[in-house]
Amino acid sequence: MDLVSNLALGLSVALTLQNIGYCFVGCLLGTLIGVLPGIGPAATIAMLLPATFALEPTTALIMLAGIYYGAQYGGSTTAILVNLPGEATSVVTALDGYRMAQAGKAGVALAVAAIGSFVAGTIATLIIAAFAQPMSDLALRFGPAEYFSLMVLGLMASVILASGSLLKALCMILVGLLIGIVGTDINSGQMRFTFGLLELADGVNLVIMAMGLFGLGEIIKNLSLPPEERTTGLLTSIIPSRAEMRRVVGPILRGTALGSVLGILPGGGALLSSFASYSLEKKISRTPEKFGTGMVEGVAAPEAANNAGAQTSFIPMLTLGIPSNAIMALMAGAMILHGIQPGPGVIRDQPSLFWGIIASMWIGNAILLVLNLPLVGVWARLVTIPYHLLYPAIVVFCCVGVFTLNNNGIDIYLMCLFGLLGYAFFKLECEPAPLLLGAVLGPMMEENLRRTLLLSRGDPMVFIERPISAGILALAAIALVAMASPYLRHRREEILVEE
């Protein structure tokens, strides 16, 4: 069977001592940085990306994937222990997780989160393995028109999922597209929007943007808010009781299913998954009123869902070359930095790299489990470091990381500019994630638009004359119209409201 032989190939790549070692280091570093309050997965990946430059591509991507899961899990840890979700995906976990921690059951919450993530990760890995090949085959039949439409759909989906105003999220994407255009135009070789800076000839580096927006911007934002009291509950029990384990089996499996499906959708990924699974559990629970008071189901379901979603969101990135959220955009950027163009070609031309990454996903999840259960106590202490001691260190990491990208100071100043923008966007209530996604998709969208219209001799009708393209665009339009309607807008605000 293809699936088995592919996974065997992947395991043979992923199970080398070196790759397991780097996967472990990635998970450890990712958790270590991700657990720090105020640092989400995007900032963690951006900060640690330069550490992978010296590695060969397969190992580097395996390590990056490890960093991603580690950061995601670290974020949940912070949410549970100190009620400080590093990013939107762990907001839901904090609802019941923090209540459990206050009741002295932080260990149980963390263990359930780890077990839920592991189960979800295992199932999602199999789903990716099964779907990757057909998706790639389909993608190979796509022309530029389909690609353009698909990117429109992805961007629309990310607009819908951004919290706050639709209009602002749309504008942020457009600004992102414009930033993506900075650099050398591949068709004419002309430098665009570089303002005479040679350093911008290759475009604005994604890592610099992410570090500025999510690293420095977040620090300034946190410092501008009044300092908050943080309390950590005592760690009394770590091992969930049998009754608790029985209670979480259902939520974990339902969360996994929901997360896997939503993760594949462009713009989906971890965020929507965790919100949706929490609402689902609340809806089918016999005691919905108890949610928010420390229900173990309220931790298990969203954790399983966000891990499953985080994992299946690799599918559109690896097979179509279209990142579906800001984190996948960073991963795609990392692949390009290592000389691999994400897209249907990867699975065909570099099967050992592709399947190696897939297999390492499962290994990464296993490592997370063995890593986190014994280290729960260490993380609990780490999150109690006062912020005023922590943030100067984060600034240092951002600086060293950005400087080592190209060894030049201009990059640092550029990061400062994005840091300022990050704070401005916070004040203006604009979410920065769609901007990052736009910046990655900008050059791709332009290229595919150009090709499409060149082939159709300038006739834009081609987008709706080709059935697949028309279907995708219709989906995007339906999604946008639906979200603009008052009823759904209200529902969306209800679901995506920041705690």
Residue ranges binding other proteins (CB under 8 A): 50-51, 54, 165, 167-168, 170-171, 174-175, 177-178, 181, 185, 187-188, 190, 192-193, 216, 219-220, 223-224, 227, 386-389, 391-393, 395-396, 398-400, 403-404, 407, 409-413, 415-416, 419-420, 423-424, 427-430, 445-446, 449-450, 453-454, 457-460
Give the number of other CB atoms < 10 A from CB of residue 409.
Answer: 11
Q: State the minimum distance, in angstroms, from the CB of residue 353 to other proteins.
A: 23
Q: Which is nearer to other proteins, 359 or 398 (CB)?
A: 398
Q: State the minimum distance, in angstroms, from the CB of residue 118 to other proteins.
A: 30
Q: State the minimum distance, in angstroms, from the CB of residue 427 to other proteins.
A: 6
Give the number of other CB atoms < 10 A from CB of residue 444.
Answer: 19
Q: State the minimum distance, in angstroms, from the CB of residue 397 to other proteins.
A: 8
The answer to whether 322 and 316 have CB atoms below 8 angstroms apart is: yes
DSSP letter at 253?
A: H
The answer to whether 401 and 47 have CB atoms below 8 angstroms apart is: yes
Q: Which is nearer to other proteins, 290 or 450 (CB)?
A: 450
**CA distance linking residue 18 with residue 214, whole number of Å:** 31
Q: Which is nearer to other proteins, 53 or 341 (CB)?
A: 53
Q: State the minimum distance, in angstroms, from the CB of residue 158 to other proteins.
A: 16
The answer to whether 190 and 369 have CB atoms below 8 angstroms apart is: no
How does DSSP assign 169-201, residue by residue? HHHHHHHHHHHHH-EE-TTT--EES-TT-GGGT
Q: State the minimum distance, in angstroms, from the CB of residue 373 to other proteins.
A: 27
Amino acid at the residue 306: N
Q: State the minimum distance, in angstroms, from the CB of residue 145 to other proteins.
A: 14
Q: Which is nearer to other proteins, 126 or 416 (CB)?
A: 416
CA-closest candidate to residue 357, choices 32, 23, 25? 23
**CA distance linking residue 185 with residue 201, whole number of Å:** 9
Is residue 315 helix, strand or coil? helix
**CA distance linking residue 239 with residue 247, whole number of Å:** 14
165 Ramachandran zone, left/alpha/beta (phi>0; psi -120 to 50):
beta
84 half-sphere exposure, CB direction, 13 A CA radius: 23
Q: 272: which 2 tokens?
A: 């929507």
| Bridge-based pairing state of the strands 183-184 and 191-192 | antiparallel
Q: State the minimum distance, in angstroms, from the CB of residue 12 to other proteins.
A: 28
* Residue 60: partners with Cβ closer than 8 Å, 6 or more residues away: 22, 52, 53, 334, 338
Q: Which is nearer to other proteins, 199 or 261 (CB)?
A: 199
How does DSSP assign 28-39, residue by residue? HHHHHHHTSTT-
Q: 485: which 2 tokens?
A: 């309607």
Q: Which is nearer to other proteins, 187 or 241 (CB)?
A: 187
Q: 237: which 2 tokens?
A: 């029990």
Q: State the minimum distance, in angstroms, from the CB of residue 480 to other proteins.
A: 13
Q: State the minimum distance, in angstroms, from the CB of residue 224 to other proteins.
A: 4
Is residue 289 helix, strand or coil? helix
Q: Which is nearer to other proteins, 177 or 346 (CB)?
A: 177
Q: Which is nearer to other proteins, 140 or 455 (CB)?
A: 455
Q: Which is nearer to other proteins, 284 or 393 (CB)?
A: 393
Q: Which is nearer to other proteins, 140 or 167 (CB)?
A: 167
Q: State the minimum distance, in angstroms, from the CB of residue 393 to other proteins.
A: 6
Dihedral pair phi/psi, residue 321, rounded to 5°: 80, 15
**CA distance linking residue 496 with residue 499, whole number of Å:** 9
Q: Which is nearer to other proteins, 245 or 395 (CB)?
A: 395
DSSP letter at 235?
A: B
Q: 315: which 2 tokens?
A: 């599918």
Q: Which is nearer to other proteins, 131 or 387 (CB)?
A: 387
Q: State the minimum distance, in angstroms, from the CB of residue 378 to other proteins.
A: 18
> What radius of gyration, in Å, describes the C-alpha atoms of the chain?
22
